[in-house]
Structure 1
């Protein structure tokens, strides 16, 4: 029998938050915006409360200048909601592999006093689901001293590691807010679709896919309708997988681990996606320290990791988290999967990016911008794809890499890159 459920007011629930506490905030589609507004209203009694999170959506409220001294954000992945706060010095960023964030909680490096999570309504046994964002939230719930649940009938019940019994919650607050949504497939450019076509030629039947965030992964999915028997083992996915699942192109038949299931840490998309994964046993939402563990990823043969970048230099260094010193995102799981795919039998780690920015600036550069972060090192790089083709860098020396990358740069940028290549390596790319 389900235990009796008592819902608290937001003010009553948040009374456990005290000055000096570290508070975990659930992320992505599950960002608990309702509770964030009420947490901001508690500012008058709180000082130096540190908020820890990965990607968050919606208005965080507490990141505004007037809350300085009351709240600070220590983000493990910078998203649009808090970029200005980081840029202006009102928030901080921790560079860390997504797979290792749970260890920060478990080892007490970032001990969590309070976790605020956004969950489904309890089932007949008293279990709530972490919905479409299990990722690092599972470990936060396991290790926090207090857990506050924002309970919402709009949160889907997903299968996997996301079940939390109501007895784990210090307080439960009811709301009926819609989940945060994000649309990727509708914004695919001609260049991104061409990139998708090139990547599709690299994907063999019976491959297992990891898809990073953004429109390029959705462009790839649109180009896979002639493929057969694909699998999913990824840190996240969006709406693009649905049609391929329904067409039996993604069926997970030939995965070595978790066959017949699409494995992920979180999902982010539209309400169609949230409805689709609701109580759907074909999807397993698992703890990110398992999903993104390299030794797990490599166990699936033909593992294909598809990730994007801000820029790449002529030696193969990949910046994916910043624009110079401007912190745009985070390390995330790119290296977890780039390495896992490289170690997989027949695996292919792929970096995909348009040859130029929207302002016509080359993304293939002689040197990364001053202050840029290297996410994927030149020792880990294999395939690089732009709308002008595929460069295979693994096993190539620096001069050969420069030649291969210049060949897939925008034609308008190749002459300048040729000169930079000659200046650095004392030879023109056609050597």
Structure 2
């Protein structure tokens, strides 16, 4: 039987594909745009016929009907990282989460520490050799493909066929569902004067020839917008988005000076516009790889001058970053922040930046605090922190004493809070 005959034999409706799911199964779904809408809609429609099914995913983008507190016994969500669709349920306590470094999720799946019975994923059309590309998010999904009993792909002609380790053969697939809907687009975040000021401080410290990891958010994108005049930048990141595309179009990214995989951009998921998805299609300058490759600190650090740019919500006077919760209330997740902070610290001449506005709630509270709000989930530790940047400047903390760190952070806090912070630091014996 040839590839096309296999394809025809395995094609079915989304509703029929749900029959392959058994009670008690865990369904692995890729990051963001890689989630298959037709399959997850069908799962939502049929959820009451199932029992004890779990959907595990990082960063869901659509709030499907299975996000339903009243049907938790049938199908429930388990978050590797909270997004807009899952955050309300996480904060209310009826959506659970799995704490983990993004880079280590495949290992958890491979070792059976987190279940993987079924994979639901968007995929490109099949090529002449019988392969589909999971270009939008190979992340932990490729590890799940190797482990799962059932693999169902939602084939959409708008999904790019990318190069790298992101391919699934027709022989591995249990069922295929076809769809043609446009891929979900995620625009660039809004950039205001605070983000722009932070971006300038960071950009001034990025040298020509650096390799970049850029997180999602207004501040990282504000940095990107101020790098267009740089030369021979490289990309080794978890997310490729429109900001990176802007740098390519400006000629700032060439990947020529990379010391690991020169000439190639490397990422594990795409999140952006239709223009980005078209750019990803059969582009020899881009490779999409599983997250245990892109985010492994030992691998990423093989890039000299690796620059990691990530955001946090709160930082204490020792440099501990609360990037994923508001006190005890979960907001996002660990993701790849620590992976790339550690990678940049290991990289020759690498620089890890943690960025944040100096205040929150309309300037009424300081984000630089004596101690983190009780219950805050610590993301980047005091031992890993390097550069911290607000709109008031840069504090370089790595190698500094507790007293030196405290003074440096107070100096980049909002002026309205510096006196109070100094008093609190004295009470903590940090001044």
Into which bin does the TM-score normalised by the smaller protein fall? over 0.9
Q: Tell me whether 1:170 sits opposite 2:151 in the alignment.
A: no
**Aligned partner (choices 38, 42, 57) of residue 42 of structure 2:** 38
TM-score, structure 2 length as denominator?
0.96
1: CA distance, partners of 2:280 / 2:188: 18
Query: 1:18-66: per-residue Cα shift (whole Å, max 9, x none)?
Result: 1111111222112112211110122232111111111111122211123
**Aligned partner (choices 90, 97, 113) of residue 93 of structure 1:** 97
**Aligned partner (choices 223, 227, 231) of residue 228 of structure 1:** 231
User: Where does residue 113 of structure 1 map in the other structure?
Assistant: 117
2: CA distance, partners of 1:43 / 1:113: 17
Structure 1 residue 110: deviation in Å?
A: 1.5
User: Where does residue 427 of structure 2 map in the other structure?
Assistant: 423
User: Where does residue 340 of structure 2 map in the other structure?
Assistant: 337
1: CA distance, partners of 2:331 / 2:341: 20
2: CA distance, partners of 1:334 / 1:18: 35
SS state of the match for residue 366, structure 2? coil
Task: Check conservation: 1:30, 1:179, Cα contact below 8 A.
Answer: no
Can you give the 5+ residue segments of structure 2 that lack an aligned partner in the other structure?
none
Q: Tell me whether 1:252 sits opposite 2:244 in the alignment.
A: no
Task: Check conservation: 1:77, 1:329, Cα contact below 8 A.
Answer: yes
Q: Tell me whether 1:150 sits opposite 2:151 in the alignment.
A: no
Q: Tell me whether 1:315 sits opposite 2:355 in the alignment.
A: no
Specify whether residues 124 and 426 from structure 1 end up closer, same or farther in structure 2 by C-alpha distance, changes over 3 A only: closer
RMSD: 1.2
User: Where does residue 306 of structure 2 map in the other structure?
Assistant: 303
Q: Tell me whether 1:190 sits opposite 2:193 in the alignment.
A: yes
SS state of the match for residue 241, structure 1? helix
SS state of the match for residue 3, structure 1? helix
Task: Check conservation: 2:215, 2:311, Cα contact below 8 A.
Answer: yes
SS state of the match for residue 76, structure 1? strand
User: Where does residue 281 of structure 2 map in the other structure?
Assistant: 278
SS state of the match for residue 149, structure 1? strand
Structure 1 residue 8: deviation in Å?
A: 0.2
Structure 1 residue 358: deviation in Å?
A: 4.2
**Aligned partner (choices 386, 405, 409) of residue 405 of structure 1:** 409
Larger mean CA deviation between 400-409 and 59-68 belongs to: 59-68
Query: 1:239-297: per-residue Cα shift (whole Å, max 9, x none)?
Result: 01112212321011011111101111111111121111122111111111011111111
Structure 1 residue 3: deviation in Å?
A: 2.9
SS state of the match for residue 359, structure 2? coil
Query: 1:129-183: per-residue Cα shift (whole Å, max 9, x none)?
Result: 1122111111111211110111111111111111111221110011112222211
Q: Tell me whether 1:17 sits opposite 2:37 in the alignment.
A: no
Task: Check conservation: 1:212, 1:237, Cα contact below 8 A.
Answer: no
2: CA distance, partners of 1:68 / 1:301: 47
Query: 1:74-124: per-residue Cα shift (whole Å, max 9, x none)?
Result: 211111110111122221011100010001110111131111011111122
Can you give the 5+ residue segments of structure 1 that lack an aligned partner in the other structure?
none
For 1:369-388, what aligned pairs fall within 5 Å after superposition? 369-388=373-392
Length, aligned pairs only: 426
User: Where does residue 127 of structure 2 map in the other structure?
Assistant: 123
2: CA distance, partners of 1:31 / 1:362: 37
1: CA distance, partners of 2:282 / 2:220: 25
SS state of the match for residue 104, structure 2? helix
Task: Check conservation: 2:355, 2:388, Cα contact below 8 A.
Answer: yes
**Aligned partner (choices 38, 41, 48) of residue 52 of structure 2:** 48
Task: Check conservation: 1:314, 1:366, Cα contact below 8 A.
Answer: yes
For 1:355-370, what aligned pairs fall within 5 Å after superposition? 355-360=358-363, 361-370=365-374
User: Where does residue 3 of structure 1 map in the other structure?
Assistant: 4
Q: Tell me whether 1:351 sits opposite 2:351 in the alignment.
A: no
Q: Tell me whether 1:69 sits opposite 2:70 in the alignment.
A: no
SS state of the match for residue 421, structure 1? helix
Larger mean CA deviation between 260-269 and 36-45 belongs to: 36-45
SS state of the match for residue 384, structure 1? strand
**Aligned partner (choices 218, 222, 237) of residue 219 of structure 1:** 222
Task: Check conservation: 1:33, 1:59, Cα contact below 8 A.
Answer: no
